[in-house]
Amino acid sequence: MKKIFFIICAALLMTGCGDEEKISLKPAQNIINLNAAKDGIYTIESSLNEEFGKSVLTLTIKDKKITAASFTGYDLFGNVKDKNYGSLTGKDSDDYKKAQVAVDAIKIYPQQLVETQDLSKVDAISGATISYDQFVETTLRAVEEAAK
């Protein structure tokens, strides 16, 4: 009986995750090297995701360290992803709750980068994979720009 209960619970957990976005793998190219980075403020826009919009990263580098980072997500209409993002179907809807996961992640990713100084240590958040991918893209491009 316990074995059947365990199998049913495992199946429910696995099917319950079907609607969630998968966490991105952290490929080796997510490693950044600030040795050649020049001091400055670098603002980079991500590629456009045709369903969820784009993001903009502003990275401040001083003395080969990331001293500040801000990351802003924009929906397809150019609106900042904030507490109202995803609320068209109501703030009690699953769409709103999922959208707010991305809003929270957008705040966490730059904090983790400044704290760790290591893009490969920024944790992808399930449900915010597109934001994570855009964060990785813009960070890599900003560091590349800083090295020019």
**What pLDDT digit, counting tens, does each position of 79-100 carry?**
999 999 999 889 999 999 999 9
Beta bridge partners of 72: 56
CATH of residue 33: 3.90.1010.20
Rounded average pLDDT over 5-15: 38
Give the DSSP letter of residue 53: B
pLDDT in the model for residue 127: 92
- Mean pLDDT, rounded, of the chain: 85
Judged by average pLDDT, the poorest of 5-9, 119-123, 141-145 is: 5-9
Beta bridge partners of 66: 61
- The range of the structural domain enclosing residue 118 comes to 2-146
Look up tokens 């319950």; give the residue.
16
The terminus-to-terminus CA distance of the chain in angstroms comes to: 65
Structural domain count, the chain: 1
Identify the band that residue 30 occupies on the pLDDT scale cut at 50, 70 and 90: confident
Query: Rounded CA gap, 131 and 24, in Å?
Result: 10
